Amino acid sequence: MEYLVTSEEMRLFDAYTINELGVPGIVLMEKAAAGACSHILANAQDRIQNAHVLALCGTGNNGGDGLVLARLLRQKHVSVDVILVGDQEKASELNMQEQQILANYGVPVNRTDATKCEELICTAGYRYDIIIDALFGIGLSRPLSGDYARLVEFINSYGAYVYAMDVPSGLRSDGGGTGYPCIRADVTYTFGFVKLGLVTYPGAAFCGEVIRIDMGIDEFSMGRNKPVYRRITDRSEIDWPDRVDHANKGTYGKLLVVAGSKEIYGAAYMAAKAAFATGVGMVRVFTHSDNRLVLETALPEAMYSFYDDDTPDEELTEKLKELYGWADGILAGPGIGTGHASELMVRSILHDTDLPVLFDADAIKIIADSDDLKKHIASLRDRSVIMTPHMGEYAYLVRTTIIEAKEHMTDSVKKTADELGISIICKDARSLIASARSEEIYVNCSGNDGMATAGSGDVLSGICAVLMIQTLDVVTACAHAAYLHGLAGDDAAARCGKCGMTASDIIDSIQTVIG
């Protein structure tokens, strides 16, 4: 597990390291740049040799990092020019110290403002092969505009290889946002901890390869303040339920899947088959009778119960109540539609049983349309309730646009989980996992764009529902399910290629990644 930090958390850890642990700020700055320098020299010798390098530095501490890196590269006989951009009178104390050290080493510094920076670059007498971006770090509190926005646009169009210090200049280090000016880096050296905005979109698209540099801010720097965000980074972090020699088919759980509707059977099939691949013992699918032949043929391992268009309301709910007594948990929503029968089923699941339940797809829309259902869910604090909306469904649930939902995703998902008293996987290129039962928020970074295919979300719901009934911790179930789903997608992409891979390919890879 790896911590992901916000800008405020990083400032607190930095201050604690300096003021409480007694490590001088200039020591941290020197170690950060030394780590970046060592990595460049060890991994990019061919690129750096005979290259013209420009260190583009601001007047804050991020600029100080760039000044140190420029000096260290010059000491290794790399051709480096330095441009210091900004109001020199507002330079930070550490930045001024590093300027003086550069002067002591005889390294010239061109001091200018953002309006003249482009001209200095273009009149250097040679073209820069590499640019070190150290203009702005995590202290940036608003989108770049005016001359700085134009400078960023120029750097992005210049064509040099870009190393960013800590974060690309302009990036929202706390994540979120859309369409802001930002340096597009090839490599980002982030210091101490990976910043949240480096792994969530749109920021992740600007970072290139992210390399964490150990510079003296670590878990000792946290004091009692653990970061809220984290990510799973390796399959070995997931403890799979032990299989026992004397097990039977009921040992690993019985899952009721309420899915599919008239002429819609694929979602039920995907969810149920993914559940089997994840290791559940038994699956019973409750679906429309029109799906009988195709589902019983495609997935004979499952058991089935059916309703039809003429099934009276009371009979429909009674059928479900009988199944609650059999099941250990419920997965409801994929492909059920939003009609009267579907709403009746969702209401029954919420009122007639206390089994752990995962709501996906149409069930989320039904709940979103009903204030009384949302209030009822919020009252079920002792019941495990999971929702797995994609961004469109999440935006509908919280009554906003998809653009607004993406803009504030890192902040709002935990708030939504707390208000409804649920655990939630908000599915996106970087899914967020939050729960009313925990302060921890997970960012899932496994997976790939080939998973943007019909049925992929149904596969995730099947995986997560199994972990929900096999573990006692719904937060862990959600985080592990999202990670395993992504790993299966990565395995499928390696086998089949991203273009044209299907949800069935992801299911076929589940057993491979589970091992």
- Judge whether 168 and 197 are in contact, CB under 8 Å: no
User: Is residue 377 assigned to a domain?
Assistant: yes
What's residue 515's pLDDT?
80
What's residue 298's pLDDT?
97
Question: Are 335 and 467 within one domain?
Answer: yes
User: Is residue 486 assigned to a domain?
Assistant: yes
Question: Are 24 and 78 within one domain?
Answer: yes
Question: Are 444 and 486 within one domain?
Answer: yes
Tell me, rounded to whole angstroms, the distance of Cα 480 from its chain centroid: 13
Cα dihedral sign, 332-334-340-341 = negative
Q: What are phi and psi of 415, to 5 degrees?
A: -60, -40
User: Is residue 242 assigned to a domain?
Assistant: no
User: Is residue 433 assigned to a domain?
Assistant: yes
What's residue 387's pLDDT?
98
Classify 353 as helix, strand or coil: coil
* CATH number for 76: 3.40.50.10260
Question: Are 65 and 92 within one domain?
Answer: yes
What's residue 229's pLDDT?
98
Question: Are 169 and 255 within one domain?
Answer: no
User: Is residue 177 assigned to a domain?
Assistant: yes
- Domain range for 157 is 2-231
Within 431-482, strands assigned E span 431-435, 438-444
List the alpha helices (DSSP H) in 77-192. Answer: 93-104, 114-122, 146-158
Question: Structure tokens of 122?
Answer: 């273009």
Specify the number of domains making up the chain.
2
How far apart, in whole angstroms, are the C-alpha atoms of residue 271 and residue 127?
A: 55
Q: What are phi and psi of 22, to 5 degrees?
A: 85, 20
- Judge whether 439 and 228 are in contact, CB under 8 Å: yes
What's residue 201's pLDDT?
93
User: Is residue 467 assigned to a domain?
Assistant: yes
Mean pLDDT by 10 residues, the chain (515 residues): 97 97 98 98 93 98 98 97 96 98 96 95 95 96 94 97 98 86 97 97 96 97 94 89 77 95 95 97 98 97 97 97 98 97 98 98 98 97 96 97 93 96 97 97 98 98 97 92 98 96 98 90
What is the Rg, in whole angstroms, of the alpha carbon atoms belonging to the chain? 27
Question: Are 212 and 264 within one domain?
Answer: no
How far apart, in whole angstroms, are the C-alpha atoms of residue 508 and residue 343?
A: 32
Question: Are 167 and 286 within one domain?
Answer: no
Question: Structure tokens of 177?
Answer: 């946002």
User: Is residue 70 assigned to a domain?
Assistant: yes
Question: Are 121 and 268 within one domain?
Answer: no
Classify 131 as helix, strand or coil: strand
Question: Structure tokens of 335?
Answer: 């492909």
How far apart, in whole angstroms, are the C-alpha atoms of residue 47 and residue 299?
A: 55
Classify 264 as helix, strand or coil: strand
310-318: long-range contacts at Cβ-Cβ below 8 A with a sequence spacing of 24 or more?
311/341, 313/344, 316/341, 316/344, 316/345, 316/348, 317/344, 317/345, 317/348, 317/352
- Give the domain-ending residue among 231, 262, 284: 231
Question: Are 76 and 155 within one domain?
Answer: yes
- Give the domain-ending residue among 203, 231, 259: 231
- Give the domain-ending residue among 173, 199, 231: 231
Q: CB-based contacts of 34: which residues, under 8 Å, 6+ apart?
A: 68, 72
How far apart, in whole angstroms, are the C-alpha atoms of residue 106 and residue 89?
A: 22
What's residue 180's pLDDT?
84
Question: Are 224 and 353 within one domain?
Answer: no
User: Is residue 284 assigned to a domain?
Assistant: yes
Which residue bears the tokens 């390098």?
Answer: 53
* CATH number for 364: 3.40.1190.20
Which residue bears the tokens 């990019």?
Answer: 44
Question: Are 369 and 466 within one domain?
Answer: yes
Count other Cβ atoms within 10 Å, centred on residue 493: 20
Q: Is the pTM above the cut of 0.85?
A: yes
Question: Are 303 and 404 within one domain?
Answer: yes
| Residue among 188, 153, 208 nearest 65 (CA) | 188
